[in-house]
Amino acid sequence: MEVLCFFSSDNNLISHLESFLNCYAGLVLGFRDKDTAYYENPKTNRNEIYFHFIPNALEHQFAINYTRAEENHIRNFFEERDVCSFDIQYRDERFLIELLKKWKYYLEAQGVAVDKQILIDHPHRGVLRFSEIALMPEKRPGLLRRISLYLAKP
């Protein structure tokens, strides 16, 4: 599983995510312990999302996981505002992107200024604004095969 880290100046973001995950049709809460909620995909009956709802110790997070330049980028984005950080672990990238796009609409409906209050640290794409999720390419199984078949036809 991969880890996705959120940085936010909105202290309610964790409760917004928990509310969203609990009503999202693509997930079912399987188990919850003192710091993590484990959500299963009802189609596969496998764990899909681990939501670590206890905020990270920000200074420790910066010290062990980020370069000085990355830390400065994150701090500059939030200017002088207080920042919290938390993680989710995910199994399927396509599922995650779709989930985050829907969560973005949910947050906007709640009046959260996603482009000013949230950064995401993607394990392979680095630190992104939340709006950049919509620009992330989705892996489409079979697309290359269909293109190859089309090109191969006489």
Write out the chain's pLDDT in tens, 154 residues: 899 999 998 888 899 999 999 999 999 999 999 999 999 999 999 999 999 999 999 999 999 999 999 999 999 999 989 999 999 999 998 899 999 989 988 888 888 888 788 999 988 888 988 878 755 555 444 444 344 344 443 4
Spatial separation of the C-alpha atoms in residues 154 and 151, rounded to whole Å: 8
81: helix, coil or strand? coil
Q: Which domain holds residue 104?
A: 2-152
Number of domains the chain contains:
1
